[in-house]
């Protein structure tokens, strides 16, 4: 019988393989983009024309990681409700954001002890924050409070108001999601 754990591992393995190919594409894109001549606008400002794709690759990776997390955590919460014969579902739990709702559902309502996953949970919250900035603001940070918050995340820097995602953030986000989901899945077998 194929378990949730098996299915999650397969999805995450596929995603890691995809990322390896995307990092290779990223290097090729950067090399090509470095050869594009700068253009001067209004005689004062130099910029590279928007033939670039390198700036799209890492945000896409984060969106994919979060999508897998969101897909599987909902199924794991639904399964927990079923196997424990719980009255409420994760949708009935209030929280500041979806990962908090899922976490509260599993810990406070379903009674799971996820204390050993606090670092991974915080990593998922950081992933959510960065992903949301790309989805809702194109990766731009406009206010000082957000900028300070983003700068405090390991593997993230800010360059002229734009979030820069370092490779380590991509891989640590994938690792956080894997550990979090697998431990919850193991509890359900």
pLDDT bin (cut points 50, 70, 90) of residue 98 is very high
pTM of the model: 0.88
pLDDT bin (cut points 50, 70, 90) of residue 108 is very high
List, in order, residues 6 or more apart from 7 with CB less than 8 Å away. 72
Mean pLDDT, the chain, as a whole number? Answer: 90
State the average pLDDT over residues 44-60.
68
pLDDT, tens only, 133-175: 999 999 999 888 888 999 999 999 998 888 999 999 999 999 9
List, in order, residues 6 or more apart from 12 with CB less than 8 Å away. 68, 174, 177, 178, 181
pLDDT > 80? residue 82: yes
Picking from 88, 73, 106, 101, the residue whose alpha carbon sits closest to that of residue 4 is 73
């Amino acid at each position: 019988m194929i378990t949730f754990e098996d299915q999650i591992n397969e999805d995450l393995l596929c995603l890691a393989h995809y990322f390896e190919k995307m990092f290779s594409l990223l290097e090729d894109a950067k090399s090509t983009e470095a050869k594009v001549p700068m253009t001067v606008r209004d005689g004062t400002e130099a910029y590279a024309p928007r033939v670039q794709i390198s700036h799209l690759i890492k945000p896409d990776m984060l969106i994919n990681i979060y999508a897998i997390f969101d897909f599987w955590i909902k199924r794991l919460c639904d399964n927990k409700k079923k196997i424990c014969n719980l009255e409420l579902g994760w949708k009935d739990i209030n929280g500041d954001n979806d990962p908090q709702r899922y976490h509260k559902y599993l810990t406070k309502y379903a009674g799971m002890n996820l204390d050993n996953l606090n670092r991974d949970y915080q990593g998922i919250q950081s992933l959510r924050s960065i992903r949301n900035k790309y989805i809702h603001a194109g990766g731009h940070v406009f206010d000082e409070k957000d900028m300070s918050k983003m700068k405090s995340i390991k593997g993230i820097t800010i360059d002229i108001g734009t979030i820069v995602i370092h490779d380590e953030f991509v891989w640590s986000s994938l690792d956080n999601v894997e550990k979090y989901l697998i431990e919850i899945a193991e509890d359900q077998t």
